[in-house]
Amino acid sequence: MTICDVYRLCCCAFLGALVNMSASCQSVACDNALDLCGQLDTTAVLSSPMDLDGFESLSEMFDANQVQVLHFHTTFFGQFAQPLEPIDLVIGDVACEDPVVAQVFQSNPLDVCNAQDFVSASELWTVNSDTTLTSQPLYQNTDYVVLLGSSGAGCEVDVRLNGLAVSIDACCTVSIDYGESATVQVLGSDPELGYGWTPEDLVQMVDNQLAELSPYETTTFEVTGYVQGCAYADAVLVAVGSPIEVPNAFSPNNDSFNDTWNIYGLSQFPTSTIEVFDRWGQSVYRSVAYPNPWAGQNRGVNVPAGTYYYVIHLNEPNANLAPVTGYVAVIR
């Protein structure tokens, strides 16, 4: 073999490698797949050939030249919640000359792009404009695929997943008395990935799904949980009852019954201030911490019978509690 023959063989091998490398660099459907998270809009561009492994198994029902593969993972609500709920596939801003076909499939978690392993989880939809499509009930904590296809190239649509299957749940709204705590359970996310709470300083996790919430006033708590690469949020309201109980009348007539204005619960606020005004807005009584209940006097003189307006500032250092206001009747 001459030097020229060796050169020619090397050149041919090099060119062949370039051709194979070029073919391997072409965009294929699974390499171009998108990950979907519930409640978020994602733009899908149908620009990959229908070249999934085993795509022949879909050829009779899913006729498309250009496709977009989208993966999503359902949330987890416990072992007794199978199957979970359907998802709503919201398709909007359709910019396609040809109709779009769409379908949801359960995929093999070990080979998510093998179409031969796809199990249908919805009917085959044909979409020409903005619409909302509903799947079959889906299993929780499971991998799924949304397959979008069209005959024309360069087709774009916005895709959004809604529903319990792609949500978390902080349960439940509760009413508590001042100074108490509420226990709330968070379901749907992966507890091993933790949670984010707002406001954080009023929350303590007591196990991997239970949180103890200790607000000083009615508060809406927001919690974020995680499923694989997705963050999901929910909110729960904890309603806190009035920290004090203010009577709306008393009778300072020295009969040893209801002679003073006893405000229950005020002793737990040692820096509170109380002020009472008459009908003309003149202050007739003021006290800090309320060591002695008001006996219906202004500087040692009995105030006339009638209705008086009060403002109570609790001055709780750990919470910005609103002033307590109202009317009290002095009966003689």
- For 37-67, the pLDDT digits (tens) are 999 999 999 988 888 888 888 877 787 888 9
Phi-psi sector, 307: left (phi>0), alpha (psi -120 to 50), beta: beta
Do 259 and 323 sit in the same domain of this protein? yes
Q: What is the CATH number of the domain that holds 316?
A: 2.60.40
The band of 69, judged by pLDDT with boundaries at 50, 70 and 90, is very high
What would the DSSP string read from start to end of 244-302? SB--SEE--SSSSSS-SB--BTGGG-TT-EEEEE-TTS-EEEEEES-SS-B-SEETTEE
Do 81 and 210 sit in the same domain of this protein? no
For residue 100, being part of any structural domain is answered with yes
Q: What is the CATH number of the domain that holds 105?
A: 2.60.120.380
Measured distance CA(158)–CA(161) in Å, rounded: 10
pLDDT at 52: 82
pLDDT at 153: 78
- State yes or no: pLDDT of 1 exceeds 80: no
Do 230 and 254 sit in the same domain of this protein? no
The band of 316, judged by pLDDT with boundaries at 50, 70 and 90, is confident
- Phi and psi angles of residue 261, each rounded to the nearest 5 degrees, phi first: -90, 90
For residue 8, being part of any structural domain is answered with no
Do 270 and 325 sit in the same domain of this protein? yes
pLDDT at 20: 37
Do 54 and 140 sit in the same domain of this protein? yes
Give the domain-ending residue among 222, 240, 258. 240
Average pLDDT score over residue span 208-230: 94
- State yes or no: pLDDT of 99 exceeds 50: yes
Do 200 and 310 sit in the same domain of this protein? no
* H helices present in the chain, as ranges: 3-24
Do 180 and 153 sit in the same domain of this protein? no
For residue 315, being part of any structural domain is answered with yes
Measured distance CA(313)–CA(269) in Å, rounded: 9
Average pLDDT score over residue span 159-171: 95
pLDDT at 12: 37
Yes or no: say if 68 and 49 are a contact pair by the CB < 8 Å rule: no
pTM value > 0.85? no
Average pLDDT score over residue span 99-113: 90
Do 225 and 253 sit in the same domain of this protein? no
- State yes or no: pLDDT of 197 exceeds 90: yes
Residue 108 DSSP label:
B
Average pLDDT score over residue span 134-156: 91
Domain holding 224, by residue range, is: 169-240
For residue 1, being part of any structural domain is answered with no
